Amino acid sequence: MAVLLERHGLMDRHLESFLEMMAAERGAARNTLAAYRADLDDLQAFLTTRGESLSTSGTADLRAYLVSLADAGLSPRTQARRLAAMRQFHKFLLREGVRPDDPARLLDSPKPSAALPKNLTEAEVEHLLRAAAEAPGLRGLTMRAGLEILYASGLRISELLSLQSVALTADAEMLLVRGKGGKDRVVPLSDAAREAARALRAARKKQGRWLFPGRDSRKPLTRQAFFLHLKQTVLTAGLDPARVSPHVLRHSFASHLLGRGADLRSLQMLLGHADIATTQIYTHLLAERLQKLVEQHHPLALAYMAGERLHPTEAAER
């Protein structure tokens, strides 16, 4: 037991050093650091049952952990995230000379499922925005401004709640957003979003720092509070609360833009994706749009629709 306690202490020190490095050198956001800590704490709990720690485990121990995740029914995406945290941590230990090898280097990555992001239809978004606009009081103004901005710009919920009150002036056409890793980007604003933000500011007797202040006006509104307000708005709109979240609105923003002709590179800039590979999850929408484009405008397709040309299968039969 003494050996295990000693190993726990060693792990804690290395973990703290790793998180400090990720914050200082990589600019990792608070939520990213919290995710790394949670994933590595879970790994350590598993390793403790095998008499090991993060700084002493071998490849077989780490592979057994991944097997346990699959047996527990965790999705391939979650398994891949846990493996990524393991790899980053062990690369850090190797670089710092804590251990002479990298036991995570030869581990195979689970293949993530090809599930497409969920999104609402344009009509469902209209119902949601209308319900927010009709809600009474400061809570209604908060939800109207929040949802209008989310859908007009594709912001992450963390980016929305960190907006300062001066960020949206009455004549602002663009919004400067501080995204993941401290990277700034500029996103356009709709007239409805500007008006909703103006109404929210005007309704407050005292103007503070945050556009969406919490119960303590010195701090921004929490995610939990925003989700509670959103759930009530979703119910009023007659939608299923399980289908609606700030992230679903972000996906809806992206899906509806692509469906109306936007290109992936522009969407990457609007969403703040560091790698366009992340944006390419929406390519199924582009494929559908291109298929409709060919069907509507290609001369051979038009001839077939007009009955002037046989379908290939019919031609083969003849």
Give 199-245 pLDDT, tens digit per residue.
Answer: 998 888 777 889 999 988 889 999 999 999 999 999 999 999 999 99
Tens-digit pLDDT profile for residues 242-272: 999 999 999 999 989 988 888 888 888 899 8
Minimum mean pLDDT among 126-135, 167-176, 235-244, 260-269: which range? 167-176
Q: What angle do CA 189, 191, 192 make, to 5 degrees?
A: 100
Query: Mutual orientation of helices 246-259 and 137-153 as an angle, nearest 10°?
Result: 40
| DSSP 3-state of 304 | helix
Percent of the chain with pLDDT over 70: 83
Instruction: Spot the catalytic one: 201, 229, 250, 251.
Output: 250
Residue 156 is a catalytic residue: yes
Tens-digit pLDDT profile for residues 69-110: 988 888 888 888 999 999 999 999 999 999 999 999 888 877
Assessment of whether the complete model's pTM goes beyond 0.75: no
Structural domains for the chain: 2-95 (1.10.150.130), 122-284 (1.10.443.10)
- pLDDT value at 4 more than 60: no
Tens-digit pLDDT profile for residues 16-30: 999 999 999 888 888
Instruction: Spot the catalytic one: 87, 139, 180, 185.
Output: 180
Q: Which pLDDT score is estimated for 158? A: 92
Largest interatomic CA distance in the chain: 86
pLDDT confidence bin for 61, thresholds 50/70/90: very high
Residue 95 is a catalytic residue: no
Instruction: Spot the catalytic one: 247, 284, 289, 309.
Output: 247
> Which residues have a Cβ under 8 Å from the Cβ of 9 and sit 6 or more positions away?
none
User: For residue 121, how many other CB atoms are within 10 A of its CB?
Assistant: 11
Q: Which pLDDT score is estimated for 153? A: 92
| DSSP 3-state of 164 | strand
Residue 273 is a catalytic residue: yes
Numbers of helices and strands, H then E, in the chain: 15, 2
Residue 139 is a catalytic residue: no
**Strand partners of residue 176:** 186
Percent of the chain with pLDDT over 90: 44
Handedness of CA 28, 34, 40, 44 (dihedral sign): positive
Instruction: Spot the catalytic one: 156, 194, 201, 251.
Output: 156
Distances (CA, A) of 197 to 171, 186, 194, 251: 11, 17, 5, 22
CA atoms within 13 A on the CB side of 169: 6
